Amino acid sequence: MEFCNWLSRKEGKTYRLPTEAEWEYACRAGTTTRYFHGNKLEGLENVANLADAAFETQFPELQGAIKANDGYAYTAPVGSFLPNAFGLYDMHGNVWEWCADWYGAEYYAKSPRNNPAGPATGEERVYRGGGWFNCTRGFRSASRSGGLPENRHLTLGFRVCVAAE
């Protein structure tokens, strides 16, 4: 959020983290499947950097990597994989992405159906997308997790939105 504030001052536009609902909409890119490329794990290596054969060479003690090899044991350069139908890269994998919303484990069971804003308060913020260190469960378009805002980790990052003029 501090980066967004800095960038807003520098550029003279309003930048922010996406809400969780905006992030999922952008990830899905008009699809209703588990991943924006479809429902099957096969093909995920074409659109996401995740725990795979390259990862397993560095971390053989960890289980759950897919058999495919994307060539990256750690983070990959942005845009190394195919984009979704909206032209967005790395929505699945590479790093989890912080969202603006507070995390509520059961929030979506009772939230508004259209553009839910997330809980008004909380201790943890939402992050979405899965990271290079994760196996396939965290890569579903609807997969979500949360962490304390002060958390720093090599599998956490962010993307920004710019407000419409």
Domain ranges of the chain: 2-162
Backbone phi and psi for residue 150, each to the nearest 5 degrees, phi listed first: -85, -5
Average pLDDT over residues 129-133: 89
Over the range 117-133, which residues count as b (16 or more CB within 10 Å of their CB) and which as e?
A: ebeeeeebbbbbbbbbb
User: Would the pLDDT of 165 be above 80?
Assistant: no
More confident residue, 138 or 146: 146
Q: Please give the Cα distance from 123 to 150 (Å, whole number).
A: 10
Residue appearing with tokens 């997969």: 143
Question: Which pLDDT belongs to residue 59?
Answer: 87
Which superfamily, per CATH, for 2-162? paralog of FGE (formylglycine-generating enzyme) (3.90.1580.10)
